[in-house]
Chains A and B, each alone.
Chain A
Amino acid sequence: MKSTDLKKLGGGREADRLAELAAKALAGTAADAGLLDVALGGLESPVGELLVAVTPRGLAYVAFEDEERDELLARLSRQLSPRILEHPKATDEVRRQLDEYFAGDRTRFELKLDRRLMRGISRDVLAATARVPFGRTTTYGTLAERIGRPRASRAVGNALGSNPIPIVVPCHRVLRAGGDVGGYAGGPSRKRRLLTLEGSLPTGARGA
C-alpha cells in the first residue's frame, strides 16, 4: 500500500463535482432546518441580470449586475445575517413577479418587504416612493414635501440612491423637477429603460 493509494480515497476530480452538488443541496437542508436567513437567487431581465436577496421577512435587496458581488454579500452578511446561501427556490415568488413586470403583465408588486436595510429618513422616503403608481412619475421636491420635509430634497435624493430594493420600490419614478430623469443607482440608462417600459417616457427618449 502506498500513500498515493490513500490519497485516491478522497475521490479526486469526482469529489469536486460531488462537493458542488452537495453544496447546492445544502441550501434546501438549511432552509428546512430554519437556518437560512438570506436566500439568493438570480434572474435575467431587460435591465441585465438581477440578484435578489430574500429573508424570512421578505424581499430585502435587488442588485443590478454591475454591483460587486463579494462586497454586496459582505454587506448583507454584516447588516442582515452571515447565514447566506444561494437558494433560488426561496426567491421563486419574487422572480416570478419581476418576470411578469418585465413582460408587461404586472403593474403592482405584491411582495412582503424586509426593510432592515433602509435606515433613518430613507424608510419614510422609500415608503412614499412605494406609493407612486406604475406609469406615473413624481419629483424629488414633491417627495420631500410628502414626507413633511420640504427642504430635504437632497436627503431624498440620497435616500433614493441607496434604495436597497430598486424596481420593486420604484425609485426610478422620481425625476428632476424639469423633467430630466435624474440619477439612478443602477445608472440613468436603466432608469430610462424602466420608465419606457412603463410608458412614462416615449421610446427612445433621452434623459439628462
Chain B
Amino acid sequence: MRHRSHVVRGVVASQAVELPPFSEFLEEHKGTVFRFLMAAVGPHEADDAFQETFVAALRAYPRLTDASKLDRWVLRIASRKAIDHHRAAGRRAIPSGDLPEHPAAPGGRAELDGDLRAAVASLPPKQRVAVVHRHVLDRSYADVAEVMGISEEAARANVYQGVKKLRELMT
C-alpha cells in the first residue's frame, strides 16, 4: 500500500487522507530515500543526508494537510538535500583518483562501480539527481519533474544530458 488514498477512495473521496504516525511514514519510505541518497550523494554522505532529510520532514510533518503524496513529498526534500550535499562536496577537494580518468584500468566489478559512482558524482547536481530518480528509482518523467520542482521537459533534458555524459565518461 503506497498511498492510503486507495483505501479511502470511494468512501470519502473528498476528505484529505489522514497523516500516518511518523514512525509509519519513516518505515514506508526509508528504503527509497536511502537508495536515492546512496546513488545521488554516495555511500559516505548518504547517512548524513538521510538524517537531514527526515529531520526536515519531521519539522514540517504536523503541518501537512494532505497525506496522499507523501513519497513524492519526502523525495522532494531528499532531492534538495542531495543538491546541497553536492555543493558542499564541491567545495572540498576531490581526490583525483576518484575521477574516472583511467577507464582503461581493467579492474573487476568493484572498480567499475567505483568509476561509475565517480562519474555520477562529477555530473552537475540537477542532472545527477534527475538521472538517479529516473534510472535508480525508475520514476516516470512526470514524477522526476514533480520531485525536482521543474517542468517535465526540463526533467527529460536533465536525464538525457546526464546519461550522455556518463556514457562518455564510461567508455
Contacts and interface: CB of A to CB of B under 8 A. Distances in A.
Size category of the B interface is 35 or more
A153 B171 CA distance: 82
Name the residue among B18, B22, B50, B116 with the largest chain A CB count within 10 angstroms.
Answer: B22
Interface string B106-136: 0000001100110010000000000110011
Contacts of A33: 55, 58-59
Contacts of A73: 21, 23-24
A83 B61 contact: yes
B99 to A, nearest CB: 16
A1 B164 CA distance: 10
Interface residues of A, number: 36
A3 B170 CA distance: 12
Contacts of A81: 62
A35 B20 CA distance: 16
Interface stretch (A20-28, A103-111, A126-134, A184-192): A20-28
A5 B30 contact: no
B110 to A, nearest CB: 11
Interface string A33-51: 1011000100000000000
B169 to A, nearest CB: 8
B24 A70 contact: yes
Interface in B44-89: 46-47, 50-51, 54-55, 58-59, 61-62
A3 B55 contact: no
Tell me what chain B mostly uses at the interface: helix, strand, loop, or mixed.
helix
B26 A7 contact: no
B21 A82 contact: yes
Contact of B61 (A11, A15, A70, A82): A82
Contacts of A40: 23
B58 A83 contact: yes
Tell me what chain A mostly uses at the interface: helix, strand, loop, or mixed.
helix
A5 B113 contact: yes
A19 interface: yes
B36 A30 contact: no
B58 A3 contact: no
Given A1-B116, A8-B113, A35-B58, A22 B50 contact: yes
A9 B50 contact: no
Interface of B: 18-24, 26-27, 30-31, 33-36, 38-39, 43, 46-47, 50-51, 54-55, 58-59, 61-62, 112-113, 116-117, 120, 131-132, 135-137, 166-167, 170-171
29 contacts: A1-B166, A1-B170, A1-B171, A6-B116, A6-B131, A6-B166, A8-B113, A9-B38, A9-B132, A10-B36, A10-B38, A15-B38, A19-B50, A22-B50, A23-B54, A26-B50, A26-B55, A29-B51, A30-B54, A33-B59, A35-B58, A35-B59, A36-B58, A70-B24, A76-B21, A77-B20, A77-B22, A84-B21, A84-B23
